[in-house]
Chain A
Amino acid sequence: MTDRITPAMISSSTLRSIESSMASLDKTSEQLSSGKSILQPSENPFGTGRAIDLQSALAGLSSYSSNIQEAVSWESTASSALGSIGQVVQQVREIALEGANGAQNESDLENLAVEVEQLTEAVKSDANAQYAGAYIFSGTMTETPPYEVSGSDAYKGNEGSIGRTIGPGLTIQIGASAKALLGEGAGSGDGKLLETLRNVVTNLREGTPAAREALVGGDLEAIEANSQTLIAMQAHVGATIDQLRTAEGRIEQLSVNTSAALSNTENANIAQVSIQYASEQAGYEAALKAGASIVQMSLLQFLN
């Protein structure tokens, strides 16, 4: 037996088709206008979780990237400070040789001593280099200048180091202590640059044959040793900058990959959604047309 079909059945099924066409049209148009394929977690719970993770990872990558930029600037500041200390060391070496050759009278030696004293202050002020308001050679005492210019040679900072996270689980140390290079000045016995400079000044002022001997002997050796330390520090800074550049490239690559993965997860395929939209629109129109014409059909129209 054929099913009986009643007008109520036709109108309710037409209404249902119209409603469901409209609902899918609404969703598709929201996808089109927002450009997102996941509008609610329930549409793709796993994809939503993944999108959240990827978004967080992407934000993490961008903070690594800004940390790297910042660390590069910091290390560049350190590098130029060390460079200018290097020039001073070179000048002092020449002065020491000049003072030792015996042709200098007392006032010449005094002039040389004064020049070395000025260079010593220049070294201290180089060591007081700042990046973004922080003293970079004070360890973690970034608000304290490591050395007092025109004052005592005591180191004011500490041995702490400052980290920068430059990748997932990758932290480098950028803060440094100037004490390893400059030491604590005359009488400290640490053989570092400040003590060497102070010794050079003393020996120049003494001007005795023994003092001249010391200038080309012990002092020159000490200068040599200090410049080795300096070169090692410069090499370390250079290596750190290299490492940062490499990390930067890697983070950029990771960002590209992560963005692509995120886009695959949460972005709508516009071409596909547009075509879907067009076909859903056709479906909606058909449902409306059915509602407008078929539902009105009845035997009543054909009876007199």
Chain B
Amino acid sequence: MGIPTLQGLQTTLSGLMANQASLDVVGQNIANANTPGYARQTAVLETAPPLSVQALSPVTGAGAQLGRGVGVQTIVNIRDSYLNAQYRNENSASSSASTLAESLEQVQSALEEPSSSGLSSQLSTFWGAWNDLASAPTSAAAREAVVSAGSQVAGTIKQLSGQIAGASTEATERYESLMGESGEVHSDAEQIAQLNGQIKVSEQAGQQPNELLDRREALIDQLSGFAEVNVSEGEYAVVSLSFGGGGTPLVEGTTVNWPPTLSTSSGGQLGALLQLSGPTGKLAGLQEALDGFAESLAGTVNALQPSTPFFSYTAGEAAASIAVSATPAQLQTGGAGEPGANEYALAIAALRGGQAEQQYSAFVTGVGSSVQAAQAARANSEAMLNAVSAQRQSVSGVSLDEEMTNLMTFQRGYEASARALTAMDQMLEQLIEHTGTAGL
């Protein structure tokens, strides 16, 4: 038995087709070189099943197997699921750290310290005004100056308190908007569930749905910024996704278990927002420290103004409610009926550098330290994220140089296949047109 006459045509045709498919994949890679979440693809080539030719050898009668060309086995995308998991961990950590840092930085910049316009210099002016009043207890101008410096201090404390409360409200609102029924988390989860269904159908049909997988990976990456995610892949590439350390998976096949249970240790933006807001959050802690300072300031000054309290405030929310309650005429510099007496004014001026001021300076140091810690955490996790991201790019990213080289390789392969086809054709032409015509 010989080799079928037209077999060569089929073999070279398969070469043309395989090279063409590979070129198509190269084209797809180049087209998506800058698409976020795109993982480069490769056409996996395999040799076609050979043709058994029996008794090929006229001497021994042994047969042989003749290759029948090449085929595209599948088109795969290249990704590393370990790097993906690492990327998502770092992404959660990084967005958690930057959410914390941003919010605390907002409070920090409201402090305007150290500067000549911050509360510390206003307090200094306030003590100075009391000192001036002690020197001139009968001066109406000195009394006015004390009340006005006091009002400025009270106003700034109130403003700071309002800014901290505002940051806390903002954190709560951001959390609620992200976690709402129409928020991003829910919509991402729904899309992942839907993609799970589509991917399953493709996989069951034996096709690898690269584009669907890319889209799902991108969505999971996005979710990892909101809270920690944990992905486990089951049959037919269907993933089950736990979110924010909750017990029940957020996405299970095509089902979304809404809403997920989150806590301050959920990581990501949402975990950070929970750490910031709420009655035990970081911002409430700052508010409490500011309240402590305001109460101690008002308390120590009022203790030295026996007839009319200088500051009024509501206990428990001193910073938000502090105000000057005394009028200039009501200020008491010393014993009643002694216009020149100044022991109270002296004692208040001597509060400079005292308990209240130390509390304030500790408050500023505390805010500074927590911002510093959050910024350091952000810098660390961003560096890690960049490193993992680069590694991931290294595995899955499109290298144009590589694609160009592949382009040339497959182009040449295609040309060579075409040349082989031409040779086949010429051979057949010889057979058909010129054979058996001897003597004609």
Contacts and interface: CB of A to CB of B under 8 A. Distances in A.
B63 interface: no
Contacts of A138: 340
Contact of B399 (A7, A55, A163, A300): A7
B395 interface: yes
Interface in A1-46: 3-9, 12-13, 16, 36, 38, 40-46
Interface residues of A, number: 58
Contacts, number: 185
Interface residues of B, number: 65
Nearest to B391: A3
A138 B339 CA distance: 11
Contact of A55 (B114, B343, B366): B114
B339 A9 contact: no
B357 interface: yes
Contacts of A242: none
Contact of A160 (B338, B366, B389): B338
A49 interface: yes
A43 B108 CA distance: 11
Contact of A143 (B334, B340, B399): B340
A51 B358 CA distance: 12
A142 interface: yes
A38 B372 CA distance: 13
A299 B114 contact: no
Given A8-B398, A56-B357, A299-B400, A38 B114 contact: yes
B33 A52 contact: no
Interface string B341-370: 111001001101100011011101111110
Given A7-B399, A55-B124, A49 B340 contact: no
A6 B120 contact: no
Contacts of B339: 140-143
A70 B360 CA distance: 31
Interface stretch (B1-9, B131-139, B176-184): B131-139
B350 A160 contact: no
B114 A165 contact: no
B404 interface: yes
Contact of B353 (A9, A56, A266): A56
Contact of A46 (B340, B365, B395, B408): B365
A56 B119 CA distance: 11
B43 interface: no
Contacts of A60: 124, 127, 352-353
B371 interface: yes
Contacts of A168: 353
B401 interface: yes
Contacts of B390: 9, 12-13
Interface in A47-78: 48-49, 51-53, 55-57, 59-60, 63, 66-67, 70
A-B residue pairs, 5 tightest by C-beta? A41-B368, A142-B340, A45-B368, A42-B371, A6-B397
Interface of B: 33-34, 105, 108-109, 111, 113-114, 120-121, 123-125, 127-128, 131-132, 134-138, 334-335, 338-343, 346, 349-350, 352-353, 357-358, 360-362, 364-369, 371-372, 375, 386, 389-391, 393-395, 397-402, 404-405, 408
Given A12-B386, A42-B367, A63-B128, 4 more contacts: A45-B367, A63-B131, A171-B346, A299-B400
